[in-house]
Amino acid sequence: MTDTVKYLLDETHLPKYWYNLAADLPVAAPPVLHPGTMQPVGPNDLAPLFPMDLILQEVSTERDIPIPEPVREVYRQWRPSPLFRARRLEKLLQTPAKIYYKYEGVSPAGSHKPNTAVPQAFYNKQAGVKRLVTETGAGQWGSSLAFAGALYGLEVKVFMVRVSYDQKPYRRALMETYGATCVASPSNETQSGRALLAQRPDHPGSLGIAISEAVEVAAQNDDTKYALGSVLNHVLLHQTVVGQEAMAQMDMAGDYPDVIIACTGGGSNFAGLAFPFLGAQLRGGKKVRIVAVEPAACPSLTRGTYAYDFGDTAGLTPLTKMHTLGSTFIPPGFHAGGLRYHGMAPLVSHIKELGLIEAVAYEQIACFEAGVTFARAEGIVPAPESNHAVKGAIAEALKCKAEGKSRTILFNLSGHGHFDMQAYLDYFGGKLKDIQYAEADLATALAKLPQVKAA
């Protein structure tokens, strides 16, 4: 074992710590603001929604956060997740590049999301919480939290974005199998849901709306807390088990990435893989190019404004500075439901502003084409979200080929697509379209951004 591996992993090859990027940032990220007072929020402002252990992680600037042993015990069921070299894909593309991928589809729910669902449920249970309420897009997060809730005997209620609820009935079945309840959002169960249904009974929903419904329920019930599957600092923190393992695994392979690629919805699988490598770079280590890949139909990093905005549609959450399409923007109903979010994690937005990462956007048909190429070469069928990362990695490998340069590419295969086969059927049947959002809708949503004086 090298010193790097010994520092990162215990004797069972599991990371000892989550890595906190806040410790190594050259400039701290802007503060989160209270929507009433426009002053930075304190831990007590967040207490109705989250248990204190998670709030303290949210604001921590310590570099290494120990992973509690009971959480590590659960992680061991599927972690460390495998890191593969995609040799057959390299051959198919005839690229001089080396392509590695970290495969997160080996978790019980089939994606990276249980990496944070498990510690979130653990800390809530410790704090005496009885019920967790949340939102889900494609259903990956809802099923991950349902799984974690089952582990700790917590009730779980999930507001699932209406288009995905209709497109992906088996994700709902999975949540119910784990004992959770799942309702289509917007729903009749909340004030914000009822208001939207009154305007438009066939409302397709959005992550922003489902978050409003979940936050409303959590704020009104003492025994209930809210859990978020992406975006927040503590969620990104938990996902760094992915990058910590990948660093050790690349080290064992005697290699180091030149380029790191991941898809971005709220930014958590991207941060999970990239932050430990970025931290090493910021501490004087090797420079890595880091590329975020987002859907062209919901392009927060490439087309959004960097501004203070709400995390939800009804304006119930604190204000965070992020790349946003406007919290009232309703992205078109394309298939990568987990990427249909109007904003981006504040930490990911911040490092984009600092010039530490790049971002590109691709249309969904090109992403499915890449996913099918990958499946035929490597045997794993990626989730529609992960197809964006696959597309990014293939584009990079073909660039290496055109330039006659060998580079080491590492990407995050954030989940498998076994519950998303309808999307593949639509792709094969020629029914998939590259959906454009209306520029006027984006302009309207951006015009409604909350007015915040330079903080």
Ligand X SMILES: *Cc1c(COP(=O)(O)O)cnc(C)c1O
Site string for ligand X, 140-169 (x = CB under 6 A): xx----------------------------
User: Residue 275 CA to chain centroid, in angstroms?
Assistant: 13
Name the DSSP letter for residue 250: H
Q: Which residue is nearest to ligand X (CB)?
A: 415
Question: What whole-number distance in Å separates Cα of residue 430 and Cα of residue 277?
Answer: 39
Are the CB atoms for 136 and 142 separated by under 8 Å? Answer: yes
CA nearest to 228, candidates 111, 110, 58, 448: 58
CA nearest to 417, candidates 172, 142, 139: 139
For position 338 contacting ligand X by CB under 6 A, the verdict is: yes
Q: How many positions of this chain bind ligand X (CB under 6 A)? A: 20
* Minimum distance, C-beta of residue 286 to ligand X, in the bound complex (Å): 24
The token duo for 272 is 């999970």
Interface residue with ligand X among 149, 267, 304, 311 (CB under 6 A) is 267
* Minimum distance, C-beta of residue 113 to ligand X, in the bound complex (Å): 6
Question: What whole-number distance in Å separates Cα of residue 405 and Cα of residue 99?
Answer: 13
Question: What whole-number distance in Å separates Cα of residue 429 and Cα of residue 371?
Answer: 16
Task: From 8-16, 80-88, 213-221, 263-271, give the range in contact with ligand X by CB under 6 A.
Answer: 263-271
* Minimum distance, C-beta of residue 388 to ligand X, in the bound complex (Å): 8
Residue found by looking up tokens 């967790």 in the block = 132
| Closer by beta carbon to ligand X, 51 or else 265 | 265
> What interhelical angle do 364-378 and 384-403 show, nearest 10?
80
Amino acid at 412: N
Interface residue with ligand X among 20, 269, 313, 328 (CB under 6 A) is 269
Task: From 168-176, 217-225, 260-268, 301-309, give the range in contact with ligand X by CB under 6 A.
Answer: 260-268
* Minimum distance, C-beta of residue 19 to ligand X, in the bound complex (Å): 16
Name the DSSP letter for residue 339: G
Interface residue with ligand X among 67, 274, 339, 370 (CB under 6 A) is 339
For position 243 contacting ligand X by CB under 6 A, the verdict is: no
User: Reduced to 3 states, what is the DSSP secondary structure of residue 347?
Assistant: helix
For position 72 contacting ligand X by CB under 6 A, the verdict is: no
| Backbone torsions φ then ψ of 230, nearest 5 degrees | -160, -165
Task: From 145-153, 267-275, 277-285, 322-330, give the range in contact with ligand X by CB under 6 A.
Answer: 267-275
Question: What whole-number distance in Å separates Cα of residue 363 and Cα of residue 358?
Answer: 17
Query: Residue 45: how many CB atoms within 10 A of its CB?
Result: 16
For position 264 contacting ligand X by CB under 6 A, the verdict is: yes
The residues near 439 (Cβ < 8 Å, ≥ 6 apart) are none
* Minimum distance, C-beta of residue 262 to ligand X, in the bound complex (Å): 7
For position 268 contacting ligand X by CB under 6 A, the verdict is: yes
Please report, as residue ranges, which positions from 274 to 313 form the binding site for ligand X (by CB under 6 A). Answer: none
Question: What whole-number distance in Å separates Cα of residue 116 and Cα of residue 229?
Answer: 7
User: Reduced to 3 states, what is the DSSP secondary structure of residue 380?
Assistant: coil
For position 415 contacting ligand X by CB under 6 A, the verdict is: yes
Q: Which residues pair with 291 in a beta bridge?
A: 261, 358
* Minimum distance, C-beta of residue 5 to ligand X, in the bound complex (Å): 26
End-to-end CA distance of the chain: 47
| Closer by beta carbon to ligand X, 145 or else 400 | 145
Q: Edge to edge, what strands does the sheet with 289-295 contain? A: 83-85, 98-103, 408-413, 259-263, 289-295, 358-362
Interface residue with ligand X among 386, 396, 408, 432 (CB under 6 A) is 386
The token duo for 62 is 């310590």
Interface residue with ligand X among 224, 230, 249, 387 (CB under 6 A) is 230
Interface residue with ligand X among 257, 266, 279, 346 (CB under 6 A) is 266
Interface residue with ligand X among 263, 290, 361, 446 (CB under 6 A) is 263
| Closer by beta carbon to ligand X, 236 or else 356 | 236
| Closer by beta carbon to ligand X, 147 or else 270 | 270
For position 383 contacting ligand X by CB under 6 A, the verdict is: yes
* Minimum distance, C-beta of residue 94 to ligand X, in the bound complex (Å): 28
The residues near 97 (Cβ < 8 Å, ≥ 6 apart) are 90, 396, 397, 400, 401, 405, 406, 407, 408, 409
| Closer by beta carbon to ligand X, 113 or else 225 | 113
* Minimum distance, C-beta of residue 208 to ligand X, in the bound complex (Å): 14
Are the CB atoms for 80 and 5 separated by under 8 Å? Answer: no
* Minimum distance, C-beta of residue 237 to ligand X, in the bound complex (Å): 13
For position 392 contacting ligand X by CB under 6 A, the verdict is: no
| Closer by beta carbon to ligand X, 81 or else 140 | 140
| Closer by beta carbon to ligand X, 95 or else 140 | 140
**Given the rule CB under 6 A, which residues bind ligand X?**
111, 113, 140-141, 230, 263-270, 338-339, 383, 385-386, 414-415
